[in-house]
Chain A
Amino acid sequence: MAAMQDEIQKLEITDVELIRVGCMGSCYAEPTFEVVRPHQPAVVYGYVDQDSAREIVRIHLAGNRLLEHQRIPKPGIDDRQVRIALRNCGTIDPESLEDYIAVQGYRALGQCLTTKTAEGIIQEVIGSGLRGRGGGGFPTGLKWKTTALARDDQKYIICNADEGDPGAFMDRSILEGDPHSVLEAMAIAGHAVGASQGYVYIRAEYPLAVARLLIAIEQAQQAGLLGKNIMGTGFDFDIDIKYGAGAFVCGEETSLIHSIEGDRGEPSNKPPFPAESGLWGRPSSVNNVETLANITAIILKGPDWFSSIGTEQSKGTKVFALAGKIKRVGLYEVPMGITVREIVYEMGGGIIDDKAFKAAQTGGPSGGCIPAVYLDTPIDYDSLAAIGSMMGSGGMIIMDENDCMVDVAKFYLEFIVEESCGKCTPCRIGNKRLYEMLDKITGGKGSLKDLAKLKELGETIKDTSLCGLGQSSPNPILSTLKYFHQEYVGHVQDKKCQAGRCSALLAYCIDPEKCSGCMVCVKKCPAQCIEGAVKKPHRIIQDKCIKCGSCMAVCKFGAIEKR
């Protein structure tokens, strides 16, 4: 940005304004730069560095010519994204209230306070078909309605910004790129359910999001958009921030509430639901960041517009954090009903090195792995659940032929074992046992009996755990067991890892035909387990080999292979 500023001054261009905006979501091409000129389509440049920044100024700003080789698609314009929740991300200055107001900010709140009744707002949200974007998929309007119907003089709106799924960062992006949209939606929710206080429960590991939220709250308070007598309508609503300490389980609403109350972040049984008895025993509506980010658009454009997007049971859009073996890593807001294939191959640009697609893991540690046969399954809450995965908060990790599905399941289980709160038996001990069995299998010590046990225990954990974390924690195992059963059988029966990931099941061997006897691998081997003399074929002593792969990495003759 400094280089750009410098170049602008050098060329004495005066009619240019440089604005720092939030993340656009095109992570693969960061840093990005967008040029907006009146009466011309916006142009987005990716992979910008100091030199190209100066070039953009010289060629595009001064010369009004495009740098085609550095252009990337503008999200939502040049691709199939439909940006509702992310509509302002990357287009406005998140630290400017004026910027937000310029894109119709706080207009929805104004309408709600002056022309709409609480019941009317709830009806609109119900009519829109919006469902919770945090993972559960509960209809947002119904949640509000239950909270509204609960009789109490004190109610709360809680924004769940405890985004914890590995690889998911859409909530962070919204809070960093468009914090006011969440605050405005919370105030609308407060008006709808009869709450005068809201809390944003945000993980402390999101310092930039926290900072921007704090700025936004202060701006809104000073502008009379939060606090007492908002817009002179007599409606009071204020928002405080509560910090989470990074426990995954605190994304579960009852745990989150206990955490705000100062208690140990662990869930309690439902019912009662927070909408009936939540924070400090008062009716509370807990809504996820992305859910809230849809609200003002629904109010301004109407529920019919919103429900025209998506599928029968899943309306609107969903933001996915696409990662893994994919060419274009980033955030993609897509209409519900789009297929995995479209996301992977159209938006994501396909698999890195054009390898074969193996699976898409959705829903984070609570989700499952979708195999290639379901590439054309439309993505919505119910279709994903039907194939053993879930929407979750929108993480999507793409795997290729080099990924071992047993190892993937083990990775997620390890996360769950770390993050289980330890309250209920099945989640606390059951997941640990599942992990231990997977460890045994990837270590080459598993048996077919273990596979049966994995399934039985996994199903029981789902059936008996106390909260959503435990009820979904075996999904990565169960879905891979179902769709990649042969791979498991390979591990326990043939003691082979097809993908070559499970080191205990691998053997590094030297092909005597190719080996030139250069001694490089002999010298490099940290376990000193390669025998050999100069110009004679070397040999790996399998018993001693620690399977680190360093011999393979240094061999210039391709004489070492993994089997």
Chain B
Amino acid sequence: MANELIEFVLVSVALLAVGIYGLSVKRNAIRMLFAIEIIVNAANLNLIAFARFMPEAHSGGQTFALFSIAIAAAEVAVGLSLIIVAYRLYKNIDIADFRSLKG
């Protein structure tokens, strides 16, 4: 291996930090979804990195990452449709406006 495990893990930490920043600062619902995607991808990168460097895991790490990617796709579909519903109710995507469930 040309690269070491620690480098991949540090990139993953940086992505996690960027994602946390986005989640805590942004009020735009779609941007918060971007931040969630970035965090999920940082987690997947960690999974694959550790799977590569621990040969006793065989293909388990990669399989788990594949499941994780598929579940993330389902989550995005539901999240986007929730944003569409909220936009239809409030005519806005600012989460500070989403105050009541009734609309």
Does A pair with B? no
- A-side residues, CB < 8 A to B, are none
Interface set of B (CB-CB < 8 Å, partner A): none
